[in-house]
Amino acid sequence: MNGKIVVNPAVCHGKPCIAGTRIMVTNILSQLAGGYSVERILEGYPEITRADVSAAIDYAEQATDHTLLDSNDRYSE
């Protein structure tokens, strides 16, 4: 992510944000999930770049890429 995503307890209650802004990763992800194009997001947030949007997606991918440690397989059908 090259420092594009930062977590600072003094900014947005410590939620991950685009560096140098108060734009939270969740804002970007919610807009993408809602069908916004990257271009539309960039129009709404002119202070960020396409690379910032990509960093938000990468951050989410890394944050959710984990293995369930419970071997009881509680979630199988």
pLDDT in tens, 35-76: 999 999 999 999 999 999 999 999 999 988 877 666 555 555
CA distances from 45 to 3, 11, 69 (A): 19, 18, 39
Residue 71 within any structural domain of the chain: no
Q: State the average pLDDT over residues 14-38.
A: 97
- Residue 76's pLDDT is 54
- pTM greater than 0.85: no
- The parent domain of residue 15 ranges over 5-62
Residue 37 within any structural domain of the chain: yes
Q: How far apart are CA 30 and CA 57, in angstroms?
A: 11
| Helix, strand counts (H, E) of the chain | 3, 2
Residue 75 within any structural domain of the chain: no
Number of structural domains (the chain) is 1
- Taking residue 41's Cβ as centre, other Cβ atoms within 10 Å add up to 19
- Residue 60's pLDDT is 93
- Residue 37's pLDDT is 97
- Residue 65's pLDDT is 84
- Residue 71's pLDDT is 56
Closest CA to 56 of 10, 24, 8, 34: 24
Query: Which CATH number do you get for residue 16?
Result: 1.10.10.10
